Amino acid sequence: MKIRDFNRDWEFHSDKSAEVQIVNLPHDAMIMENRDKSNPSGGACAYFDGGKYSYKKKFNHDEENKNVIMYCEGIYQNSKILLNGEMIDERPYGYAAYYISLSEHLHSGENEIEIIADNADTPNTRYYSGAGIYRNISLFTAGESYILPDGVRISTTNNDSVHIKTEMHGTGSVHVLVYEDDVVVAEGDGNDVTLKIPNAKTWDEESPFLYSCKVELIESGKLLDSVMKRFGIRTLAWNGNGFFVNGKNTLLRGACVHHDNGILGACSFRDAEYRRAKILKEAGFNAIRSSHNPISSHLLEACDELGIYVMDETWDYWLVHKNPYDQANENFLKWWKQDVESMIQTDYNHPSVIMYSIGNEISELGTVKGQELCNEIANYVREFDETRPVTCGVNLLLAGMAKKGKGLYSDSDNKNGSQSMDSMPTSAFYNVLMNKMGGLIDKMASSKAADSVCDSLSPILDIAGYNYATSRYQKESKTRPDKCFVGSETLPKTLYGNWKLVKSIPNLIGDFMWTGWDYLGETGLGTIRYVHKKTKENAYKGLPIISGSGVIDICGTPQAEVAWNKIIWGLQDEPAIGVDPMQFPEYTRAMSMWRNTDCVESWSWEDCDGNKTNITIYASGVSAELILNGRSLGKKKVKEGKAIFKNVKYIPGKIEAVNLDATGKEIGRTALQSATGNTTLKLEADKMQLRPNGQDLCFIELSLVGENGILKMNADTEINVRISGAGTLQGFGSAVPNTENSFISGIYTTYRGRALIAVRTGYEEGEIHVSVSADRISEQTISIQVKREK
């Protein structure tokens, strides 16, 4: 089928305004909404208001196109599709991709499609969802005979051959060609064909080689249709000895990742997803868990290209409501099979997808009813894909409570899932419980109630997934030595101990930390707060907007402990220096269970001379030495990858960390320097030329630096961004935990000297001019070319 970009020039209307805007997709309507503490979405959705939205588009239909199918990759939520005023389809779940046949409802000539997204009833999620058409829309057209969208399924059962199955409509014969780069290396005929690949190159994290497969539909020598798909040759196996990719035992260095893109809201763009995947890979992660909904096709493609394994997850709920207006119970039971099918259709040809997770912290897994449903869902997944294992992120505390009839979430008919625990939303209550009793909660994972839950789920799941259950690992390994399991959600601060277990327990296959990349909503979960000792005011004013639990912030800046992670994983030899922020001496630092440090790799703190701070040297050696301006401040033993120096007085200049082995010999050194001189704006664009396709993005990293080019940590100020020419501002912001600014206003305050600008192309060639200004700092400009590819 011919694929048409259907993202351009939609008429957008919100129920709060009579104004009609012309927008290009993807488009997040929620990021445009007002943020207010009184909004019922609450901190879970970063205090954004809900709403009901309409998207309309006129288009012409050529009757030669007998079959017309529209593909919607992501509409949040309760979507309804109207064609020429007639409702022709709907889908409640806001993360389901689905196809709609328009053929029987089209008029010759002009038609009007309308898509309604209803997100008015909140709260309906535990984290920022976005709203509207936040992923792409495509239009497929064909004659009488064609290859079905997602009708080509490619699998590999060994490392030198590929199985291609093709579903078609109408008549014709199928011819298949496999390309290595631009050279045909195998071909064959038939709807169900296995081809031997000479000198086959396999796909994995280290060498993510991708082949191309072209499937042609031919009749009487005439080409009726063709489809091109990329794939990788890789096999999977799992047992009590571990998880194997192409026969190699593979440990998963995992990051839990939500679907939002920070300053872009929920919008998914190829450039944004590729940038995120690249930063995650550079930070040492080789796997991501799509928490807690199906991953975007753009991020899948990036993971294919970069060599990142994916645990794709379906839902955050089944029968029991976690929020008053989520899709649990009635809608879930009506639609879950379609949701499973759509996820597997999207994932099937992507070598990066190595397992499916069918839920997150489903409390009813502690009940017979929940376990029966779990078995039904797992078997349904296997009907569509036998090549990948099925897992589930099980919270043994919640499941154990449900087993005893004391579920944290409620499944009553009035949907009061978030109205218990003194009116605190239950997910928020659980997070508070974790912050106060995290160690005890982990220990409860090895209780008798937890044992019973695990015994019931073991025959159902191919790989057991345990959230916050480190205490269970040794018991699980001994109880079920023939099955593997994974830490599906863990605390970043526990990585050292967790990874020792991963390396020592044969059937423990990896660890997924919460989170690898920070996200909007679930505000303050991991944020380390600074509270004034006398007034009790927060150092950062405004409403909370981010979770604060990511080791990489919402703008893609790795935090200092990323170096610690890489040292633990054996990926980094040189030491790193983490400095506790020192600009708030009159404030108390309130820690979080998810994050026990907010240290940064910087020795550049203006107006902080004489302030005291703690310094952590992340190192692989036996001991470490700290040197300030050429004077040694002593040596400390390295414990769990850290040597901590307390009450170090800040003196501008140069601070050095020396990594020492057991004999005291230097095996590595790193240094940080202070900024000097006046503050200037520094702009760094990730690309200088874009295409006029309405989809390309340029990310511009903004930093406040001294005259020597070094970042100033505490020179934060409000920045104004103006865009002119052949592009628009898609988003601008920083990782500041609290704010009254908006990502779409062009005005935002930096955080620790940084901010991020995202510029989007339109459909015309030209130049995009970006001007950045701030009080008492010289304005900076940058220009980006927009040209069509020749």
- Name the architecture of domain 561-601+607-673: Sandwich (2.60)
Q: For residue range 610-621, what is the model confidence (pLDDT) as tens digits?
A: 999 999 999 999
Q: For residue range 163-175, what is the model confidence (pLDDT) as tens digits?
A: 999 999 999 999 9
**Cβ contact 298:267 at 8 Å:** no
The confidence score (pLDDT) of residue 184 equals 98
Confidence band of 433 (pLDDT split at 50, 70, 90) = low
Confidence band of 63 (pLDDT split at 50, 70, 90) = confident
Q: What is the mean pLDDT of residues 423-447?
A: 66
Residue percentage of the chain with pLDDT more than 90: 92
The token duo for 198 is 């000479």
Q: For residue range 68-90, what is the model confidence (pLDDT) as tens digits?
A: 999 999 999 999 999 999 999 99
Burial class (CB in 10 A: 0-12, 13-18, 19+), 595: buried
Q: For residue range 122-153, what is the model confidence (pLDDT) as tens digits?
A: 999 999 999 999 999 999 999 999 999 999 99
- Alpha carbon distance 666, 659 (integer Å): 6
Reply yes or no on whether the pLDDT at 423 is more than 60: no
- Alpha carbon distance 300, 350 (integer Å): 7
In this chain, the answer to whether the domains covering 157-231 and 236-522 adopt an identical fold is no
CATH topology for 157-231 is Immunoglobulin-like (2.60.40)
SS3 category, 428? helix
The single-letter code of the amino acid at 399 is A
Write down the domain spans for the chain. Answer: 2-142, 157-231, 236-522, 561-601+607-673, 680-786
Q: For residue range 384-421, what is the model confidence (pLDDT) as tens digits?
A: 999 999 999 999 999 998 988 876 655 544 343 333 32
Q: For residue range 270-305, what is the model confidence (pLDDT) as tens digits?
A: 999 999 999 999 999 999 999 999 999 999 999 999
- Name the architecture of domain 236-522: Alpha-Beta Barrel (3.20)
- Alpha carbon distance 404, 252 (integer Å): 33
Reply yes or no on whether the pLDDT at 437 is more than 70: no
Q: For residue range 680-713, what is the model confidence (pLDDT) as tens digits?
A: 999 999 999 999 999 999 999 999 999 999 999 9
pTM above 0.85, yes or no: yes
- Alpha carbon distance 80, 58 (integer Å): 17
**Cβ contact 391:353 at 8 Å:** no
Residue 181, C-beta contacts closer than 8 angstroms, at least 6 positions apart = none
The confidence score (pLDDT) of residue 420 equals 30
Q: What is the CB neighbour count within 10 angstroms for residue 122?
A: 23
Question: Average per-residue pLDDT in the chain?
Answer: 95
The confidence score (pLDDT) of residue 187 equals 98
Q: Which residue(s) pair with 303 in the sheet? A: none
Reply yes or no on whether the pLDDT at 454 is more than 70: yes
Q: Which of 90-99, 182-191, 410-419, 434-443 has the lowest mean pLDDT?
A: 410-419
SS3 category, 554? coil
Burial class (CB in 10 A: 0-12, 13-18, 19+), 85: exposed
Distance linking the first and last C-alpha atoms of the chain: 25
Residue 397, C-beta contacts closer than 8 angstroms, at least 6 positions apart = 441, 444, 445, 450, 468
Residue 556, C-beta contacts closer than 8 angstroms, at least 6 positions apart = 262, 275, 276, 279, 517, 699, 756
φ and ψ at 449, to 5 degrees?
A: -65, -40
Reply yes or no on whether the pLDDT at 573 is more than 70: yes
Q: What is the mean pLDDT of residues 722-750?
A: 98
The confidence score (pLDDT) of residue 359 equals 98
**Cβ contact 197:186 at 8 Å:** yes
**Cβ contact 50:119 at 8 Å:** yes
Q: What is the mean pLDDT of residues 466-489?
A: 97
The confidence score (pLDDT) of residue 196 equals 97
Q: For residue range 327-372, what is the model confidence (pLDDT) as tens digits?
A: 999 999 999 999 999 999 999 999 999 999 999 999 999 999 999 9
Q: How many CA atoms lie within 13 A of 48 on its CB side?
A: 32
Reply yes or no on whether the pLDDT at 428 is more than 80: no
Q: For residue range 148-159, what is the model confidence (pLDDT) as tens digits?
A: 999 999 999 899
Reply yes or no on whether the pLDDT at 633 is more than 70: yes
Q: What is the mean pLDDT of residues 724-735?
A: 99
Segment (H or E) for 720? strand 718-725
Reply yes or no on whether the pLDDT at 429 is more than 50: yes
Residue percentage of the chain with pLDDT more than 70: 96
The confidence score (pLDDT) of residue 419 equals 32
Q: What is the mean pLDDT of residues 773-786?
A: 97
Q: For residue range 636-676, what is the model confidence (pLDDT) as tens digits?
A: 999 999 999 999 999 999 999 999 999 999 999 999 999 99
Q: What is the mean pLDDT of residues 192-211?
A: 98
The length of the chain, given as a count of residues: 790
CATH topology for 680-786 is Immunoglobulin-like (2.60.40)
CATH superfamily of this structure's domain 2-142: Galactose-binding domain-like (2.60.120.260)
- Alpha carbon distance 497, 507 (integer Å): 16
Q: Which residue has the higher pLDDT, 537 or 409?
A: 537
The confidence score (pLDDT) of residue 790 equals 81
Confidence band of 41 (pLDDT split at 50, 70, 90) = very high
* β-pairing verdict for 67-72 and 137-142: antiparallel
